[in-house]
Amino acid sequence: MSRTLRSLALLPLCIALWAADPAPTPAPATPAPKAPAKKPTVLAVRPTFADVAYGPHPKQVLHFWQAKSDQPTPVLFYIHGGGWVNGDRTSVNGLIKPCLEAGISVVSVEYRFIAEATADGVVPPVKGPMLDCARALQFVRSKAQEWNLDKTRVAASGGSAGACTSLWLAFHQDLADPKSADPIARESTRLTCAAVNVPQTSLDPEQMRAWTPNSRYGAHAFAVKGNFDDFVKAREKILPWIKEYSPYELVTRDAPPVGLYFPTPPALGKEEKDPTHTANFGAKLKEHCDEIKAPCELIYPGAPDVKHPAVIDFIKAYLKPTGK
């Protein structure tokens, strides 16, 4: 019998033996070690009032720290960063004591993230966090008498997406509705100033790519799926939204003073290690503000004409100009 015929003859027996003796079940994989739980941030000072609701959603809450004063105090209105997808109010921690010592009360606000705004049917999604913060600002002003606040002196601050929202509030026309039956809605959303860390000053993908070729941020604000190229392709369709929510589009000559703080110098037209927080955002907004004579200070290592080296310096200069 040839070798081929012998192999064919043995094939039924091999099949029978395989069926009778299945492969052993592999040992269960060793589970990956769990990352240690993140320790909650311990606030430098306990809030005067914690988790104060300014709206019906569980995320529409804020912390308030009251500065001791016989006279109404100015207010720091803080908006945390996290790309509108994470982060929390405790990132205000480093500013609480310096503000209170300067006689400035502090508010740190929570707001709906992109996913939560989307679930609520908000279009575009970035409208959710931005309008939440506007409403929180109006709510704080409505508490002026009860909380001993001077609602004519309010500064906004925050980092990254919180900085973007702060600039949006600074540059947007007043959202107060004087005819509203809701007393909170009648309050102003205008600011005295804004001092912000690593802000995204534009949500226009065409601008961002021109300023920083490896830009990758912002599509989620407008529910654009895919990569940054898809964001660029969708630009014309979403241009009305860009003009409504991009700070660069809204700044006017009568805008309040803004301070833009970055840890590294700008490098316009070059790829950046962190394109989402590059000082290119600051350089281009500063250039635009200078053209229209809007007050803007750009601060980074080696920057010229720095008057206020730190965020707290900027806040105190405009909220407490006499030092009192």
* pLDDT exceeds cutoff 70 at 2: no
Say what the pLDDT of residue 37 is: 59
* pLDDT exceeds cutoff 80 at 33: no
* pLDDT exceeds cutoff 80 at 19: no
CATH architecture designation of domain 49-319: 3-Layer(aba) Sandwich (3.40)
* pLDDT exceeds cutoff 70 at 72: yes
Q: Report the Cα 152 to chain-centroid distance in Å.
A: 24
Instruction: Please compute the mean of the pLDDT values over residues 249-254 and round it to a whole number.
Output: 98
Say what the pLDDT of residue 324 is: 65
Say what the pLDDT of residue 22 is: 40
Say what the pLDDT of residue 69 is: 97
Both tokens assigned to 58: 């569980």
Residue 268's Cβ-count burial label (10 Å; 0-12, 13-18, 19+) is middle
Instruction: Please compute the mean of the pLDDT values over residues 22-29 and round it to a whole number.
Output: 42
* pLDDT exceeds cutoff 60 at 54: yes
Say what the pLDDT of residue 100 is: 98
Instruction: Please compute the mean of the pLDDT values over residues 150-158 and round it to a whole number.
Output: 98
Instruction: Please compute the mean of the pLDDT values over residues 285-309 and round it to a whole number.
Output: 98
Would you list the domain boundaries of the chain? 49-319
* pLDDT exceeds cutoff 50 at 26: no
Instruction: Please compute the mean of the pLDDT values over residues 213-242 and round it to a whole number.
Output: 98
* pLDDT exceeds cutoff 80 at 11: no
Percent of the chain with pLDDT over 90: 85
133-148 residue pLDDT tens: 999 999 999 999 999 9
Q: What are the two backbone dihedrals, phi and then psi, of residue 179, each rounded to the nearest 5 degrees?
A: -95, 0
* pLDDT exceeds cutoff 70 at 36: no
CB atoms within 10 A of CB 309: 11
* pLDDT exceeds cutoff 80 at 25: no
Say what the pLDDT of residue 34 is: 54
* pLDDT exceeds cutoff 90 at 94: yes
* pLDDT exceeds cutoff 50 at 81: yes
Instruction: Please compute the mean of the pLDDT values over residues 140-168 and round it to a whole number.
Output: 98
165-218 residue pLDDT tens: 999 999 999 999 999 999 999 999 999 999 999 999 999 999 999 999 999 999
DSSP characters for 91-140? GGHHHHHHHHHTT-EEEEE----HHHHHHTT-SSTTHHHHHHHHHHHHHH
Instruction: Please compute the mean of the pLDDT values over residues 156-165 and round it to a whole number.
Output: 98
Percent of the chain with pLDDT over 70: 87
Question: Mean pLDDT in the chain?
Answer: 91
* pLDDT exceeds cutoff 50 at 30: no
CA torsion sign for 246, 249, 255, 261 is positive
In a 3-state reduction of DSSP, which class is residue 260? strand
Say what the pLDDT of residue 41 is: 82
| Closest among 109, 93, 87 to 43, alpha carbons compared | 93
